[in-house]
Amino acid sequence: MRADAASPRSKMSEAASMSNFSLIDDPDPRMSHSVVVVRGAPHAGYPTINLDKTPTETRNQVIRVTSTPTDPIGILVQRLFAEAGFDAEHLGHETWSPLSALIRPGNRILIKPNLVSDRNQAASGMDCLVTHSQVLRAVLEYALLAQPGQVVIGDAPIQGCDFEQLMHTTGYAALRSDYDRRALPVKWADFRRTILVNTSTGRQRLTERRGLDEYILFDLGTNSLLEPISGDAERFRVTMYDPKMMRQTHCPGVHQYLIAREAIEADVVINLPKLKTHKKAGITGALKNLVGINGHKDYLPHHRKGGSTSGGDCYVGGSQFKGWAEDLLDAANRREGRASHLFWRGAQACLALARMAGADSNIEGSWYGNDTVWRMCLDLNRILMYGRPDGTLASAPQRHMLHITDAIIAGEGEGPLAPHPRPIGILTCSLNPVAADYAHAWIMGLDWNKIPIVREGFTAFPFPITRFSPEDVVLQMDRLSHQQPWKNWGIPAFTPPQGWRGHCELAD
């Protein structure tokens, strides 16, 4: 990969740098910092931790973290926070509390991991699919050290995800039991309003899981980034959902999102994404992970029906067979039971004919020309940054946010649901999600300027996410090379999703 003017500036790790640099040295760290800290692990991988040997103890309700964690992930998180300059004054002492500059005693905290599904559709394991439980555990221990009033760990997986199976498969259930046993103020939440459950007949049906009172409705109106394309709002789609419902939540002048109350009532949000390539957005990291604060997919346009030659952004060009498949899927999504299944089978037959005619099978907006999904994602980031409990946006950020990305074993290929593992052995840390994903794209060998969710994050729209330019982004690194971060480790650039290949890679 060539390093050019668009590459993030490098600030290599030195002893002197830790004494004069901090992510939290700005009067308003929620907005202005363009620094991304990158820390590498000696060996990529996740250990199995014995939860009976925890690094914390409870004494008079005060949580104390040992200054020398012994597990590899704990050590890596400790070094990441030290590199970031968190609580530098007390570094090396028992009183070191790296998150105390963000978290005040009694604060309400949301930790938002990526818990997208209970299985990897590529059968490539869970380590490249979801935020690893030991990364969560290491961060959570330091959050508890700052003595918050409550910590909520929550996400909204896909509708058909078996949440309890996910918890057990990933080790989250063991963590939950451990924190319950220790009577710590940690709550676990599934943010989905409805889920799919299996019936006695073998079919699935929608079941309400949470009441509307557990959400806050936001309507961004003309301030939504979807507004410029809402003249075609009847085309808005999300896979497997009834399109008529989305016409009620997104149309000209109306752009609604249903946000979990825990996210808006939080004083601090710690975003813990898993770094992966993404079929619709190009990459999923700090920005895309916040889709999981929304409780129902009916509020989340992912693409617009039709090919690019007919005004949609579902797929490149045009295909009569794909058009028929889309119509049949719309019919299937408006129905339940046998009728729905028959329409779905018809759609699959049309897709088979499309492939025979030389087209691919993409009818979900899974390509580089998707001009919808990034707008929805950035809307959600603005809501989390500026949103108030009354459903309005304030003129200034309303909560501290910290983005810690798990890329110890990242995901490449057909993410987010079918990634293949890419061990790169790093964690990243930033106070700004756009800066984080700008650096992530570069580390992955992808061109940020060809990935709309990153590129457009720098735009000066109302309620901005950044107040700096791409040229201002700085990487605070340990042993990464500024020019070729993966070459020093013998790791080639990431393989993009099929619909993005040849359109988003950095030039050699």
Q: Report which residue type is found at 263.
A: A
User: Using one digit for the tens of pLDDT, what is the confidence trace for 189-205?
Assistant: 999 999 877 655 555 66
More confident residue, 88 or 254: 254
pLDDT (average), residues 124-150:
96
Compute φ and ψ for 278, nearest 5 degrees: -140, 130
pTM to 2 decimals?
0.90
Beta strands 56-59 and 62-65 are antiparallel
User: Using one digit for the tens of pLDDT, what is the confidence trace for 295-338?
Assistant: 998 999 999 999 999 999 999 998 888 888 888 888 877 877 77
- Name the token pair of 119: 């299985």
| Stated length of the chain | 508
User: Using one digit for the tens of pLDDT, what is the confidence trace for 252-290?
Assistant: 999 999 999 999 999 999 999 999 999 999 999 999 999
Domain residue spans of the chain? 9-221+246-292+370-500
CA distance 84 to 21: 7
Using DSSP, state whether 300 is helix, strand or coil. Answer: coil
Residue 340 pLDDT level (bands cut at 50, 70, 90)? confident
Rounding to the nearest 10 degrees, give the CA dihedral for residues 426, 431, 434, 440: -10
* Lowest-pLDDT range of 92-101, 189-198, 203-212, 342-351: 203-212
* Lowest-pLDDT range of 40-44, 52-56, 87-91, 205-209: 52-56
CA distance 415 to 122: 9
- Name the token pair of 204: 């699935």
Around 235, how many Cα atoms within 13 Å sit in the side-chain half-sphere?
Answer: 23
Q: What is the DSSP letter of 221?
A: G
User: Using one digit for the tens of pLDDT, what is the confidence trace for 360-385?
Assistant: 888 899 999 999 999 999 999 999 99
Burial class (CB in 10 A: 0-12, 13-18, 19+), 361: middle
Residue 12 pLDDT level (bands cut at 50, 70, 90)? very low
User: Using one digit for the tens of pLDDT, what is the confidence trace for 410-462?
Assistant: 999 999 999 999 998 899 999 999 999 999 999 999 999 999 999 999 999 99
More confident residue, 58 or 219: 219
- For residue 32, is pLDDT > 70? no
State residue 488's pLDDT score. 53
pLDDT (average), residues 54-76:
56
State residue 72's pLDDT score. 85
CA distance 232 to 313: 11
* Lowest-pLDDT range of 19-33, 215-229, 316-330, 375-389: 19-33
Q: How many helices (H) and strands (E) does the chain have?
A: 12, 20
CA distance 49 to 292: 27
Q: What is the DSSP letter of 468?
A: S
Residue 57 pLDDT level (bands cut at 50, 70, 90)? very low
CA distance 234 to 248: 10
Distances (CA, A) of 410 to 74, 131, 224, 278, 387: 18, 9, 31, 12, 31
Beta strands 400-414 and 268-272 are parallel
More confident residue, 278 or 60: 278
Percent of the chain with pLDDT over 90: 62
Compute φ and ψ for 321, nearest 5 degrees: -65, -40
The whole-chain average pLDDT of the chain stands at 86
Closest CA to 275 of 404, 136, 134: 404
Beta-sheet strands, E only, within 215-263? 215-219, 236-237, 250-251, 254-260
Q: Does an H or E element contain 176, and which?
A: helix 172-181
Compute φ and ψ for 397, nearest 5 degrees: -55, 145
CA distance 338 to 203: 9
Q: Are 379 and 226 in contact (CB under 8 A)?
A: yes
